[in-house]
């Protein structure tokens, strides 16, 4: 009976890891892709604007 107690944590972790991978794969592309791309583009624009305002004519 101890073997069941020893295998349970490994089995639970394997199932959880498989569910995580399936969720990640399902969320790639599709309807969410446009939203994710827009969010990444907005962050890149904000970072570029922040970098330009920081330099503001200063030489490094």
Q: Which residue has the tokens 């330099």?
A: 55
**What is the per-residue pLDDT across 28-46, written as a single tens digit (0 to 9) for each?**
777 777 787 888 999 999 9
Quote the CA–CA distance of 21 and 15 in Å, as a whole number: 10
* C-alpha dist (Å) from residue 49 to 12, 25, 29, 45, 55: 46, 33, 28, 6, 10
pLDDT confidence of 25, banded at 50, 70, 90?
Answer: confident
Higher pLDDT, 54 or 46: 46
Residue 40 in any domain: the answer is yes
Quote the CA–CA distance of 53 and 58 in Å, as a whole number: 10
Residue 60 in any domain: the answer is no
- Average pLDDT over the chain, rounded to an integer: 85
Percent of the chain at pLDDT exceeding 70? 92
Structural domain count of the chain: 1
pTM of the model: 0.47
Quote the CA–CA distance of 43 and 17 in Å, as a whole number: 30
Helix, strand, or coil here: 48?
helix
- Which range of residues forms the domain containing residue 46? 2-54
């Amino acid at each position: 009976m101890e073997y069941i107690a020893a295998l349970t944590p490994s089995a639970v972790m394997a199932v959880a890891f498989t569910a995580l991978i399936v969720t990640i794969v399902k969320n790639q592309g599709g309807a969410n892709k446009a939203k994710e791309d827009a969010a990444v583009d907005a962050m890149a624009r904000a970072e570029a604007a922040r970098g330009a305002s920081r330099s503001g004519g200063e030489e490094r």
